Structure 1
Amino acid sequence: MTRYAIDEARGELAASWSTGYGDVSTTVAALPVASTSQQRLVLAAALTALSGQLWRCYTHPASASPTLEINSDGWRRQQQRDSFAAVVNSVRRPNLPDEHGTLTVSYDPVEECAHRVGRALHVMTDETLTAAVAADLEAEIAAVGQAERGDLSDRARQAVELTRAAPSPTQVAEADGVLSENPLAWDRLFLDFDPAAAAVAAAHWLRAAAGVVSEASGIAVTEVLTEADNIEALPHETPTVVLELLDSGVRPYDAVSLLIREAMLVAEGEVPDLGRLRDAIDKVDRLVGEHAADGLDAAEYVATVRLTPLDPRRPARDLLEDLLTGVQGCRLLYGEYADLDDAGDDDGLEELIDEAFCREVRKRAVADKHRLL
C-alpha cells in the first residue's frame, strides 16, 4: 500500500510505495504554511489508512469469498469495492459534526477512511491541497484497478509485495512463461508479478521438476525435497506439503490458494483448521510423553505446532520463495543421478546438468500444462 509522510523541511506531503526491491516516492502537494505539525500528521495518517483499505479490497476480493449473499463477508467486500466510486467525493465533501456535535460515521471502512481524509483537509482549508490530494487518490484507485486486471506496472507495482487471496489467471500464465524460458532463473517473478500468481506457476514447475528427479532416482515425488535437504539445507517442509497436495490430484491453483487463504486467516487471528491443530497438539503430547525420561524440553516439540506453514505476515511471497528454492533443490538432487558424459571440468559438467535438467523439466511442465491453466 502507499504510505504518506510529511517532509517538514520542504513543507510537503509525500507518498511512497514498494517496488519489490526498494521504495519510490513522489511529492503530492505543498502544505499550507499556516498548518500545524499535528494537522499535517493527521492528514498523512488518514491517507495511509485509506490506502490500506483500498488495497485490502485487492488482497481480499469478493471473488475469494464462498458466497455473496446479503450480510455475508463476500457481500461486505463487494460493498467496499463498489464504494471506490465515492471516495473522491467523500474527500471533497466529508461528513462533519453538526451543530450538536453529532457525527455520522460509515460502517464501510473505505468510505469512512475517505471521510477522515476529508475532515483532515477541511481543517486546513486549502483548496489547492484538497485538489492535489484528490488527484493522488484517483491515481491510487486506478492503480488498484490496474493490479486487479493483472497489470503491475507503474504505481500498481506495489502489489508485488502483497498477498492476494484470488491469484490473477493472467499473471499465472505470464509467470509460467517466465519459468518456461528458464526454470532456474526467477528474478522477474519477484519484481513484476503478483506473488500468489507466481506461486501457482512455481508449484506447477516444482511438480514437473520433482517428477523428473523421481524418475531419474526412484525416489517418490513427495520425498524428493527431503532427500535434497540431506545434500544441502533448504526449506523443504512447505514445498513438500504442496507436492503432497498436487500428488493427491489437487490443481496448483487450488493448492496455492488453500495455503495462502489459511495463512491470511491466521494473520487475522483465526484458526483455519481446528481439526489439524488438535492432531498436531496430540502428536506433541505423544512425543513429550515418549521422551520425558530423556529429559528433553517439551518446548522443543511445542514449537513445531504451527497454524500455517507460511509466514502469515507475507504468505504469498514466503510460499513463492520456498517453491522456487524447491525447484533448485530438485536440480541439486538431479545432479546426483544425471547420466551425462564428463564435460572435462566441473564448470562444464554443471552447465550440462543445468541444460539437461531444464530441458526435461520444461518437457514435463508443458505436457501437464492443462493442470495449470
Structure 2
Amino acid sequence: MTRYAFDADRAALIAIWATGRGDLAHLVAPLPSSATTDQATDLASNLTTLSRFQWRTYTHPASAAGDPGVPESEAWRRAEERGNFEEVEAGLCNPHLPTEEGLLVSYSGVVESAHRIGRVLHAIGDSALCDAIVAEVRAEQGAIESAERGDLSGRARQAVELSRPDVSPAQVHAADALLRADPLGAIELFTEIDPASASVAAAHWLYAAAEVAGEAAEVPTTDVVAEAEGVESLHVETPTLVLERLAAGDTPTEVVLDLIAEAMAVGEGRISAPWDFVARVAEIEAQAHRFGVDADTRQTMLTGFRISRLDPARPALDLLEDLLDGIRGCLLLYSAHIDADDVVSQFIADIRVEADADPEDLF
C-alpha cells in the first residue's frame, strides 16, 4: 500500500510506496499556510488508511472466498468493498459532516476513509488541495486496477511486496520465462512479478530441478532437498512439502495458493484448517512417544512447531525465497554427483529439457 506523510520542512504532503528494491516517493501537493500541523498529519493518516483498505481488496479478492453472488457471504462482502471504489470521490468532495443529530458513519472501510479525508479537506478549505487529493486517489486506484490485471508497471509495482491467494496467468507466464532464462532466480522475480504468481512458476521449476538432481543422486524426487541439506544449510520443510504435493498430482497453483491462504489466515489470527493443525501436533506427540524421548526433547519438538509453514507477515515472498532455495539445493546435490566442466550450465540445460519433456499444468 501507499503511505503518506507530512513533510514539515516543505509544508507538503508526500506519498511513499515500495518497489521491491526500496521505496519511491513523490510530491502529492503543497499545503496552504492555513493548514495546521494536526490537519496535515490527519490528512496523511487518513490517506494511508484509505490506501490500506483499497489494497486489501487486491490481497483479499472475492474470487478467493467463494461465490460473490451469495448475499452476506465473505465473497459478497469483498466484492461489495471492491465496488465501493466508485463511492470514494463523492466522499472526498462531499463528505458526511457532523450535524445536531450526529455523524453518519459508513460500515465500509473504503467509504468511511474517503469521508474522513473529505472532512479534513473541508476543514482546510482549499480547492487546489482538494483537486490534488482527488487526482492522487485516482492514481492509487488506477494502480490497484493495473495490479489486478497483472500489469505491475509504474505505481502498481508495490504489489510485488504483497501476498495474494490468487494468481495472474500473465504474471505466471512472465515468471516462467524469467526462470527459463535463469532457473536459479533472477532479481526481476522480486521486482517485476507478484510473488504468488512467481511462486507458481518457481514450484514448476523446482520439480523439474528435483527430478534431474534425484536421477543424478539416485534418490526420490521428494527427498532431494532434504538430501541436499546435508551439503549446505537449506530451507527444507516447505520445498519438500511442495515436491510431495506435486508428486501426488496437485498443480503448482493449488499448492501455492493453499500455503499462502494458510499463512494469511494465521496472520489474521485464524487457523484455516483446524483439524489439520491438530493432526500435525498429534504427529509430533506420536513421534515423541514412539522414540521415548525425555520431557525436554519433547518440549523442544513442540516449540519448533510452526502454526504456519510460511511467515504470516510476508507469506508469498517467503514461499518464493524457499522455492528458489530448494532449486539451489537441487544444484548442490547435482554438483556432488555429476562430473562436468561447467556443472551449473549442465544443470540448467538438463532441467530445461526436463521441464519441456514433462511440463506441469501450472494452473
TM bucket, shorter chain: over 0.9
State the alpha-carbon separation in 1 of the partners of residues 292 and 119 from structure 2: 62
Q: Tell me what 1:77 maps to.
A: 78
1:18 counterpart letter in structure 2? A
Q: Tell me what 2:268 maps to.
A: 268
1:1-373 to structure 2, matched below 5 A, reads 1-68=1-68, 69-100=70-101, 102-286=102-286, 294=294, 296=296, 298-340=298-340, 349=341, 352-373=342-363
2:67 counterpart letter in structure 1? T
Using the TM superposition, give the Cα deviation of residue 64 of structure 1 relative to its aligned residue in structure 2, in angstroms. 1.1
Residues 196, 316 of structure 1: 8 Å contact kept: yes
State the alpha-carbon separation in 2 of the partners of residues 202 and 290 from structure 1: 36
Residues 5, 41 of structure 1: 8 Å contact kept: yes
State the alpha-carbon separation in 1 of the partners of residues 61 and 358 from structure 2: 29
State the alpha-carbon separation in 2 of the partners of residues 267 and 367 from structure 1: 39
Q: Report SS of the residue matched to 1:17.
A: strand
Q: Report SS of the residue matched to 1:14.
A: strand
Normalised TM-score (structure 2): 0.96
State the alpha-carbon separation in 1 of the partners of residues 21 and 299 from structure 2: 36
Moved more, 175-184 or 196-205: 175-184
State the alpha-carbon separation in 2 of the partners of residues 358 and 74 from structure 1: 42
State the alpha-carbon separation in 1 of the partners of residues 285 and 241 from structure 2: 23
Deviations 1:308-352 (A, max 9, x none): 100000000000000001101101100111143xxxxxxxx3xx1
Say if 1:195 and 1:289 are closer, same or farther in 2 by CA, change over 3 A.
same
Using the TM superposition, give the Cα deviation of residue 185 of structure 1 relative to its aligned residue in structure 2, in angstroms. 3.6
Moved more, 322-331 or 281-290: 281-290
Q: Tell me what 1:344 maps to.
A: none
State the percentage of identical aligned residues.
45
Gaps of 5+ in 1: 341-348
Using the TM superposition, give the Cα deviation of residue 183 of structure 1 relative to its aligned residue in structure 2, in angstroms. 0.7
Residues 43, 117 of structure 1: 8 Å contact kept: yes
State the alpha-carbon separation in 1 of the partners of residues 359 and 286 from structure 2: 43
Using the TM superposition, give the Cα deviation of residue 280 of structure 1 relative to its aligned residue in structure 2, in angstroms. 2.6
Residues 171, 193 of structure 2: 8 Å contact kept: yes
Q: Report SS of the residue matched to 2:361.
A: helix
Using the TM superposition, give the Cα deviation of residue 165 of structure 1 relative to its aligned residue in structure 2, in angstroms. 1.3
Using the TM superposition, give the Cα deviation of residue 285 of structure 1 relative to its aligned residue in structure 2, in angstroms. 3.5
1:368 counterpart letter in structure 2? D
Normalised TM-score (structure 1): 0.93
Q: Report SS of the residue matched to 1:98.
A: coil
Using the TM superposition, give the Cα deviation of residue 97 of structure 1 relative to its aligned residue in structure 2, in angstroms. 1.5
Runs of 4+ in 1 over 3 A off after TM superposition: 283-295
Q: Report SS of the residue matched to 1:296.
A: helix
2:63 counterpart letter in structure 1? S
1:93 counterpart letter in structure 2? N
State the alpha-carbon separation in 2 of the partners of residues 291 and 135 from structure 1: 65
Deviations 1:67-87 (A, max 9, x none): 211111111111111111221
Q: Pairwise CA RMSD of aligned residues?
A: 1.6
Residues 272, 307 of structure 1: 8 Å contact kept: no
State the alpha-carbon separation in 2 of the partners of residues 93 and 368 from structure 1: 59
Q: Report SS of the residue matched to 1:372.
A: coil
State the alpha-carbon separation in 1 of the partners of residues 332 and 291 from structure 2: 35
2:313 counterpart letter in structure 1? R
State the aligned residue count.
362
Using the TM superposition, give the Cα deviation of residue 293 of structure 1 relative to its aligned residue in structure 2, in angstroms. 7.0
Using the TM superposition, give the Cα deviation of residue 35 of structure 1 relative to its aligned residue in structure 2, in angstroms. 1.7
